[in-house]
């Protein structure tokens, strides 16, 4: 009886170790594949949409959060924008939206379109646009968020837009 338990314990431990090695190998390969498909922190995807949340570059008392969003609407059609939310009503709150594009194999994103929107005496601001874009590129949205003197930024992953 004792030998059976040890044998069973040994088999379970061995199976667990083999499973961990296999998972580690798959995760390592996935990480290598993903790194090849990333530019400046954004993955190049074929997803329908992507949302990016702010990175707290400057922490203060006014800025609560911000996010950027992009959506593939169809071939040659792209929706992008961003929002900034303050912790309370502030004198000036803003969002700067930049649409960038790249192709597989590029090493950086190239600016495509951009715009700004500000509100005064408010606790939030949002801006978005529907754009006709050239297909065959990955597009992402990068935003700068500000509430008075507090600033942060966010960016999405890149989504592929087909030719119209």
Do 150 and 62 form a contact (C-beta atoms < 8 A)? yes
In whole angstroms, what is the distance from residue 142 CA to residue 16 CA? 43
% of the chain residues with pLDDT over 70: 76
Question: CA-CA distance, 90 to 148, in Å (whole number)?
Answer: 7
User: Tokens 């951009």 belong to which residue?
Assistant: 114
- 88 vs 11: CA distance, rounded Å: 59
For the cut 80, the answer to whether the pLDDT of residue 163 exceeds it is yes
Which structure tokens are listed for 105? 């194999």
Answer whether residue 107 shows pLDDT above 70. Answer: yes
69, β-bridge pairs: 51, 81
Q: How far apart are CA 82 and CA 13, in angstroms?
A: 50
Rounded Cα gap, residues 126 and 89, in angstroms:
15
**How sure is the predictor about 39, in pLDDT bands with cuts at 50, 70 and 90?**
very high
Mean pLDDT, all residues of the chain: 83
Between 47 and 4, the higher pLDDT residue: 47
Average pLDDT over every residue of 58-66: 84
In this predicted model, which residue has the larger pLDDT, 49 or 28? 49
Strands (DSSP E) contained in 1-149 are 38-39, 42-45, 49-53, 63-74, 77-102, 110-132, 137-147
H helix intervals, the chain: 2-36
* 78-97 mean pLDDT: 97
Compute the distance between CA of residue 64 and CA of residue 62 in angstroms, rounded to an integer: 6
CA distance 81 to 69: 6
When pLDDT is averaged across residues 114-122 and rounded to a whole number, the result is 98
**Distances in whole angstroms, Cα of residue 84 to Cα of each of 77, 98, 121, 150, 155:** 24, 14, 14, 11, 13
Is residue 118 predicted with pLDDT exceeding 50? yes
Range with the largest mean pLDDT of 9-13, 33-37, 65-69:
65-69
């Amino acid at each position: 009886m004792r030998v059976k338990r040890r044998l069973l314990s040994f088999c379970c431990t061995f199976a667990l170790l083999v499973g961990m090695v296999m998972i580690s190998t798959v995760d390592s390969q996935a990480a290598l594949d993903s790194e090849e498909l990333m530019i400046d922190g954004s993955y190049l995807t074929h997803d329908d949409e992507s949302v990016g949340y702010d990175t707290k570059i400057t922490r203060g008392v006014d800025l609560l959060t911000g996010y950027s969003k992009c959506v593939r609407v169809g071939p040659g059609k792209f929706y992008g924008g961003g929002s900034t939310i303050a912790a309370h009503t502030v004198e000036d709150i803003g969002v700067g939206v930049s649409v960038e594009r790249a192709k597989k194999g590029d090493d950086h994103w190239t600016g495509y379109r951009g715009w700004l929107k500000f509100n005064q005496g408010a606790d939030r601001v949002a801006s978005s646009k529907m754009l006709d874009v050239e297909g065959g590129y990955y597009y992402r949205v990068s935003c700068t968020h500000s509430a008075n003197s507090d600033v942060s930024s966010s960016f999405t992953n890149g989504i592929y837009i087909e030719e119209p």
